[in-house]
Every structure is written in C-alpha cells, then in structure tokens.
Structure 1
Amino acid sequence: MKPHVIIIMADQLRCDVLGRGFTPNIDSIAEEGTSFRRAYCASPLCVPARGAFFTGTYPNRNGSLINPWEPADARYGDVRAGINHLYTIMEQDWDSIHSGKQHLFTEGGKPEDRVDSGTRWFSTEKSYKEFLNEAGKPMPGGPRFRTKAAEMVNGKVTRVSSYSNAETGQYEPGDMYYFDSYFTEKALEGLKSRNSEKPLLLNAMFLAPHPPLHIPEPWYGKVSTEDFRLPENVGMYYPRQSPLQMYNLTGIAGARYSREHWNEAWRVYLGLVGLLDHCVGRILEELKNQGIYEESLILFTSDHGEMLGSHGLFQKMCMYEESARVPLYIKFPKEFVPARKSYDQVVSHIDVLPTLCEYLHMESGNEMDGVSLMPLLKGEKVDEIGGLALIQYDGNGSRSNFQRCMVQGRYKLIVDLFKDETFYELYDLETDVQETNNLMFDREYDGIAKVMAERLTSHMKATGDLITLESFDGEGFRDRYERFPVL
C-alpha cells in the first residue's frame, strides 16, 4: 500500500514561537523527521498562499492573487481551471479526508462544492458556523476585535473594510466551541471512519493562531508574560522601512499599539499556539493508536506568518521574515531517512507538491513552477537545489497594495508599491535577522540590489504578472527619500 499522507497546516504561525517549549507535539514532527529552516510562502495571505501550496505554482501563474472578499475583484482569488491541486491529484488513490479551514478557491467553485469531489469534507468554516448556530453559541471575535481600514478596489475606488486587530479577550462559551477544537473533533471522526483498504490522505487545516485573539480557557490563561521575552523589533517602526505600509492593513492596525499592549497580545497568541499544539498532538496520538504513524508521511507548515508587532505591524501581508517565512517539517515513513535533520537552503511552498509527487510516484497532470526537494533529501544535490524564493502580495480583499520580493542566499530585496510610488528595501539576513537596517541607503549595495531587481523583473514577466516594475535606480531612490525628515 502507498504511504499515508497527513498535511497539517496552521494559519498565521510565526516560526520563532516553535521549539521554545510551547509546541512539544509540533516539535516532535521535526525531531522525528527533518526541517527546512528557510522556507517561504509564495504569498503572505491566506488564499493565494494556499493556491500556491496546493498547486506548486506561483500566484501569477495560477491566478489566485488575493482573498476574494470584494465582489468586483473576486475573480483574482481563484486558481484557474485546468490547474490540478493536491486534492484532485490524490483523491482517487487515497482516502481523502479534509477537516478545518478551506481557503483554496478555484474557478467554478470551491473544491468542497464539486459534485465529483472524491474528498470527504468532514468540516469547513461553513460547517463550524452551522455547528455554533445549532448550539446557540456566538463566534469568537466581534466588533472589539476588528479594525476599519481603507482598501482600494483595483486601484480605483476606495472601500472601508473591517479586519481583525490585536485586541485580546477570553472566549466565554469554552474550548469545545472554539474553531480548532471543533476542527480536531471532526478530523478524529474522519480518521476513525477511514477506509482501511486505501492509503489515507488527511488535510487538517487549523485556524490557530490566526486572530481574533479571543480564546477559551485553559489557553487564555496558560501563558504568563514571564514565560517569554518580546523580540527587540516588536513595537518598533524603523526609519527606513517602507512608509507605504501605512496604506496597508499591517500599518493601519499595527501602528496604534504600544510595546506594552504587544506584550499582552503575545501572551494570548502564545496561548493560542498552545491550543494548536494540543490539537496536533491529538491527531498524532490517533495515528499511533491506529498503528499507522510509522507508515505515514506527516507534513507540518503554516500558510504564512504573523508580524504581531514586529516593525510596528500586525497580521501578515508584507515581506519581513515574521510574515513570509514559514515552518516546514516533514516526517517520512520509517523506510526513508532524510540525509539531514535540517536544511538551511532557501526553499518555497511551491516546492512541496513536486516533492510529494516524486516521493509518492504521482503525476501532477500539468507543469509546476516548484522543484522537487527529494534530491536534496536524498543527499544527491545538496548545493544545486534551493537558494531562491520569489514572493508576491497583490492586496488583501481586493487588488490594491502590491509588493514583490526575492530572497536569494543571504539577501532579501523587497519592492513595495502603492499607486505611482515605489519603495525598496534590501536586507542582509545573515547579519540583520530582524531586518532593521535597509541597505538601499548605502550605495555600496546598489550592485546587489540591481541584479536582484532585474531577476525579479524577469520572473514577473515570465509568470505574466499584472504589474510592472520601474527600472532600478538606487541614486534616484535615495534622492527621493533622503530629503524627507525621519519621524
């Protein structure tokens, strides 16, 4: 029989909260398998991040660029017809089970709405709402946990939207009515009713630790402010980071909070991370109880990260490490042992599906942009795979703010665009992990920035990007921004 495959995806999980005592179950996946320390999402936003992860293609290529909340721009949230994804590739040969958040949007309807779907959809956000309605319980969150923000539709019309903020509180209905507790129960229900004559495919998609930071006990009071220390860049808006972030939700929501408030937000966020880890542990325990843990490929990741006050920003939607870098842990069945316990090469979420296809001997049915990491895992081409990640952001609920990014080796180039304005950031990730020193203001780095900008431009053209970049001009950039006072 083919291996069982379990995909566990968190939502908005920072890499730097793992391995610190809050996540023993998640950490065990890396300890018993391997980890990629420099893995990046293809877009730091839920829908396009998942579109890229599940298809092995860049957002430009598959068409899923934004969260399709604004009807006028909703078509930009769908993966184009004719592009296969993990479900369609695997659901005929595997007993395909899904439980949890489902933010993969496809042209013609969501995967769970397909009449020919071979996946059993044990829970989605829609079924969770129905569960709460039947129980007479409110959703976590509410007006206090949301902030109004201006959002442009296709760069032409401004709307006022409402998105989660960093307020905190205890969810009184209790743990059994919380998102991820419900998703876990449904995942376990699916596992216990699986078809034992076929290999298992479980997609367990959690909402945690995505806001609202309105969580139940015991998780709300689980973490003390004495249990952690805030990173130095939390609550800090650095003079030469992009001012265009203030047009985006990240700046609108994040700039209002003091470092003292971020301390409380971190406390509750880490409690939510603990809840996530507990849910993951229950799934791992059931796999062991059924005697299929050793024969399972278990992959843990997050769709993207969370700023949580770093750079004075909140949520994701930007290219800093806290937002764009993701955990990527893989435990293989016992007969395959990766060449290394961890890898420092830069890799992308779009490499995951090609890797699964090679290991599981599957055909994707269409071309993918990602490359298989199996040669790297086998120790055959350690220096030839990885080293480059290309990331894009095209707006949240509509096409509005745009960012493009390339991570190559030790350097990261970020291009931030709003209307007719372009701002560049260049960071050395080896010497400046928290990205506090924008090297674009040092002309000695113009050569590196120019090469990266040209390669990024070539990538955008090759993938059919809907926007274009101006020709790189380091001196012109500095002339524009050095004349303005630093606040």
Structure 2
Amino acid sequence: MREQQSEIRKSNILFLIADDHRFDGIGAYGNPVVQTPVLDQLAAEGVLYQSIYTMGGLTAALCVPCRASLLTGTHVFQATASEKEVSLGQTEDASLWNLNPEQTFLPEVFRQDGYRTIGIGKWHNGKESFARSFADGAGIFFGGMGEHVGLPLHDYDPQGIYHQDTMYPSETFSSELFADKAIDFIQGHEAEEPFFLYVSFTAPHDPRTPPQAYLDRYPLADIPLPPNFMTEHPFDNGELSVRDELLASMPRTSEEIRQHLADYYSMITHLDDQIGRILAALRASPHSENTLIVYTADHGLALGQHGLLGKQNLYEHSIHIPLIMQGPGLPQGLQVSELGCQMDIYPTLCELTGNSIPDKVEGHSMVPNVLGERNERRASVFSVYKNMQRMVHDGRWKYIRYSQAGDAGSNRTQLFDLLNDPWEMSDVSEDPAMHAHIQRLEEELQAWQKDVQDPLLLQKNA
C-alpha cells in the first residue's frame, strides 16, 4: 500500500462537486434512464463508492452544513459557527453559516503544503473561509442558489473582501461558465507547484432550466416514476411546507413529477458534458498523468419519492451521495461497499497525497478501501435534520426517529431493512420481531448524540 501511495504523492487534485446530485442520478450507480457517459467512464476507470452519506444539518439550506462537514472533516455540530455555537432555533441566520474558524479547511491544508489552490463556482460558507482556502479563483458565487444565467459572480480578490459593487451577472449558463474557468486554469498552469482545483457547480439545483437540446433527450413518456412514488408523505415529518416542498403541487401528480425528473436528468446530462470538457482539457495537458480526480455532491433530494420533493428529510434519496475517485495509483473499476461519511473525504485526500491530517479532523481515511483492502472503519453512519429528525444506519438496518417540533411533526420512528427494501417502502418498526433492532439502534443513536453534543439531546436532558 505504501508503494502505491508514494506513486500519487503530491499529485494535483481536481475536485468536482455538484449541488443536489443524489447517488442514483448517475448511470454507474444503476440508473438506466439518466445519461452520464463521462461520469460512468470515470467510475469505470477509477473507484466508485456505493455507501457514502451526508450528516445533514440544523438548517433547511442543507448545502451549508453538508459542505462544511466536507471542508472541515468534522461532524455537523462542529463544522460551522451556527452548528457549534447557537441554539436549534437560530440556524437560518445566514451570517452564522461560515466555516468554524477553529478548523483547518480542506483546500487550506493543501495551500499550506505548497499547492496552488483555486476556487471556482459556488461557495456557501462565508467569504473569510474562501480567502483562507484559495490563492486564486474565478467565477466565484457566494450564495446558495440563483438563476443559471445571470448568477451574481465575483472575480478573485487577493484581499479577500469581495465588495458588493464588484459583483457582476454571468452571461453563460453556470455549468458551462464554471467549466470554462476550470479549462482556462488547466491550460494555463505551467508552474511546477501542484494544484488543488475546486470546481463547485450550482447544477442540478433548481431552478432546473436546462438548455432545450438536453431537455429534448428526456421525453416524459420515457421517464419512469420511482417505485416509492407517493402522492403525499404518509405522516407529518415536521417540514412539509418548507420552500423545496412547495415547488410542486400537493398532492403530487405523476405527470408533474415526471416533468421534474426530466428537468433534473437534463441538468445532470448537461453537467456531465461540461465535466467531459474539463477532463478533455486535462487529458490534453501535461498534468493528465498526475492528477487525482474526485466527483461528489453535497446531498441529494426526493423529487417525488415518499411524496416529497426536497432534501429536508433523512431518506436515502436525500442523504446518500455519489463519490467517484480516479487517478494515478488508484485501482480501476473498483466498487467499494463499506459505509463512509462525507467528512471522510478530507482525510482520504490528505493520505493519498502524503499530507498530514490535522488533529481536529474527525473523519476516517478511506485509503484502505480505495486501494482495495477491506477495512470497515465505520460500523454505522448518522444524520440529522433540524430538531425534528435523527437517523442511524448500520449497513443494513436504518432507523429514523422523528421528534415533534412545536405544533408540527410527529413523535414516531421508522425502521427499514435496506438489504431487502432499498427504496424504503416497508416500515417494519411496528413489527414486534423488530424490537431488538430498534432498541439496539436507539441506544447507538443516543450514544452518538451524546458523543457529538447534539443540541437536541442536550435540550431534551435540560
């Protein structure tokens, strides 16, 4: 293993991250409808992780805590100022979404190690952390979402201030623009120093307005509904009226959900083409043989599954994300099934490139799995949503606990056997034969909540 690691030490890193791209929105993950030939090829030439999960967060704007966990390598209550310092009811204050300044950020680690770090696209975790992370950048969008043409952008500011009056609207579709900026850098980089190129797309997040040529690839008659399509969620989960859930009529209709899926797949295919342009530029450059490529997403979303539309829930469609790695020294065509957490990506990249892992990073390196060695570092993964929902998943059994939030929500639990019920269609929590599983998972969840100082547990015990 050490010999393989040394081959990719000081490799460049091309880090590609999408917004709202759930794990099964890629052909390589088994979706027969969506067209993603570039990502499929990347998976065939590299390593595809089948079981990577986000940890959720305490805000409806879930890209904030999810990206924060990724960028700090820490659990969700430690990753940002809001999760660490404020109470459950205050986390919609955008001024509290900055990365926790006590942490060392993922790009910052590489910058300190002599890498040229470049930030392109979306950054939803504060301007100060961006300035600490990147020595260069282009097409920078500080925010959560916006129109894909006319997105408010900044050029890189060496002072890290990013005044409002220097902002300008984009004239090109966001995915194309961010790809253009990445290609410009790759083609122009001639220095000996390695680079960490972070390209953060706003697709396929709504508004889903793909170019018509891509939408034409997905006739509605060819779009199947998911097996777990429902017209409405079977109970009040505490967040049925959040913005994302209001983007389609209630109860849901099959035709409207098919249209949402067609728009979503079209955005993904367009994004896939732009990634293809970046990878073509990389292959044509002197950096091709020495660049580690990473593709992932911040979280997923429902789009009709379980009667939901958004990501403010703890079902698989919302917390299970794609992760593909390809590059020098990595196996080809490997699929890794072991459980992993989003914050594990940080220490994995550090180990793959020979960087020391900061002491405050809590994620586990997945290098043993990346290099084909079975080494289960996580027996379970956990996820949270506001003060309403908590989840533990042990690789087969998945337990979700719902806590009443004010006048909304339900006090109840769900238990799914994901081995036999991957679409989470059969809640077996009421089956007396499942009592031992529920008790075991509840104890495990409470132990984790105590360990990470979950505000919901602290509030309950106050």
In which range does the TM-score fall when normalised by the shorter chain? 0.7 to 0.9
Equivalent residue in structure 2 for 1:32, among 24, 45, 48:
45
**Offset of 1:429 from its aligned partner?**
0.5
SS in 2 for 1:177: coil
**Offset of 1:417 from its aligned partner?**
2.6
Equivalent residue in structure 1 for 2:353, among 354, 357, 360:
360
Identity of aligned residues (%): 26
Which stretches in structure 1 are left out of the alignment for 5+ residues?
A: 141-174, 395-400, 472-487
Contact kept? 1:33, 1:341, Cα under 8 Å:
yes
Matches for 1:201-240 after TM superposition, within 5 Å: 201-237=196-232, 239=234
Equivalent residue in structure 1 for 2:136, among 116, 120, 124:
120
- The count of residues paired between Structure 1 and Structure 2 equals 417
Contact kept? 2:53, 2:381, Cα under 8 Å:
yes
Q: TM-score, normalised by structure 1?
A: 0.78
Matched with 2:400 is 414
Matches for 1:314-333 after TM superposition, within 5 Å: 314-333=309-328
Tell me: CA distance 1:87–1:434, structure 2 relative to 1, closer, same or farther (3 Å): same
Matched with 1:97 is 118
Q: Deviations over 1:126-160 (max 9, x none)?
A: 5999999xxxx7559xxxxxxxxxxxxxxxxxxxx
Matched with 2:108 is 88
SS in 2 for 1:314: coil
**2-structure distance, mates of 1:131, 1:268:** 14
Q: Deviations over 1:172-224 (max 9, x none)?
A: xxx96222111111122222232531112111111111111223332232322
Equivalent residue in structure 1 for 2:129, among 107, 111, 115:
111
**1-structure distance, mates of 2:100, 2:426:** 39
Contact kept? 2:392, 2:399, Cα under 8 Å:
yes
Matched with 2:158 is none
Q: TM-score, normalised by structure 2?
A: 0.82
Matched with 1:443 is 432
Tell me: CA distance 1:131–1:110, structure 2 relative to 1, closer, same or farther (3 Å): farther
**2-structure distance, mates of 1:59, 1:296:** 29
**2-structure distance, mates of 1:182, 1:227:** 30
AA paired with 2:117? Answer: S
Matched with 2:240 is 246
Contact kept? 2:139, 2:181, Cα under 8 Å:
yes
AA paired with 2:335? Answer: S
**Offset of 1:53 from its aligned partner?**
0.8
Equivalent residue in structure 2 for 1:373, among 363, 366, 372:
366
Matched with 1:148 is none
1:50 aligns with 2:42: no
Matches for 1:84-483 after TM superposition, within 5 Å: 84-92=104-112, 93-105=114-126, 109-112=127-130, 114=131, 118-126=134-142, 138=150, 177-237=172-232, 239=234, 243-246=237-240, 248-249=242-243, 251-253=245-247, 255-333=250-328, 335-337=329-331, 341-380=334-373, 382-394=374-386, 401-419=387-405, 422-468=411-457
AA paired with 1:103? Answer: H
SS in 2 for 1:16: coil
The farther-off stretch of 12-21 and 368-377 is 12-21
AA paired with 2:366? Answer: L
1:78 aligns with 2:98: yes
SS in 2 for 1:12: coil
Tell me: CA distance 1:342–1:71, structure 2 relative to 1, closer, same or farther (3 Å): closer
Equivalent residue in structure 2 for 1:14, among 10, 18, 22:
22
Tell me: CA distance 1:237–1:126, structure 2 relative to 1, closer, same or farther (3 Å): closer
The farther-off stretch of 459-468 and 185-194 is 185-194
Tell me: CA distance 1:238–1:111, structure 2 relative to 1, closer, same or farther (3 Å): closer
**2-structure distance, mates of 1:130, 1:260:** 26
AA paired with 2:19? Answer: D
**Offset of 1:347 from its aligned partner?**
1.0
The farther-off stretch of 290-299 and 198-207 is 290-299
AA paired with 1:348? Answer: C
**Offset of 1:118 from its aligned partner?**
4.3
Contact kept? 1:242, 1:425, Cα under 8 Å:
no
**2-structure distance, mates of 1:14, 1:72:** 23
AA paired with 1:111? Answer: S
1:61 aligns with 2:82: no
Contact kept? 2:344, 2:363, Cα under 8 Å:
yes
**1-structure distance, mates of 2:205, 2:245:** 17
Tell me: CA distance 1:117–1:372, structure 2 relative to 1, closer, same or farther (3 Å): closer
AA paired with 1:392? Answer: V
